[in-house]
Amino acid sequence: MKPYADYYAQLNAAHQRKVDWQAGYEIALDEVATEIDNDLLQGDQTHYHELTEMLCDNDNFWLAIGSGASYEPYRQEAIKKIAERE
């Protein structure tokens, strides 16, 4: 085996660990965001005020409301930011 082959194998393994960690983080983040969304839809007030503040500060949210467009992407983005904080 050539000396550089071992080095590249180590680099590949390190990169794969990083990719696996990132995928696991994204899955966990999506689970927390889904849990927060479900709690909000069921009337839980735990994150309601934080979500409301984030949406009120977002000008694109108000443009969507004013034009009659869907504000769901902005709501999901705010929920994901809340999930990142937890």
Distance in angstroms (rounded) separating the CA atoms of residues 53 and 3: 57
pLDDT at position 81 over 70: yes
Confidence of residue 11 (pLDDT cuts 50, 70, 90): confident
Domain ranges of the chain: 3-85
Asked if residue 51 lies in contact with residue 45, where contact means CB atoms within 8 angstroms, the answer is no
The string of pLDDT tens digits covering residues 34-64 is 999 999 999 988 899 999 999 999 999 999 9
Model confidence at 5: pLDDT above 90: no
Q: For residues 30-37, give the mean pLDDT.
A: 94
Secondary structure of residue 17 in the 3-state scheme: helix
Residues 6+ apart with CB under 8 A from 33: 76, 79, 80, 82, 83
Q: Is the pLDDT reported for residue 1 higher than 70? A: no
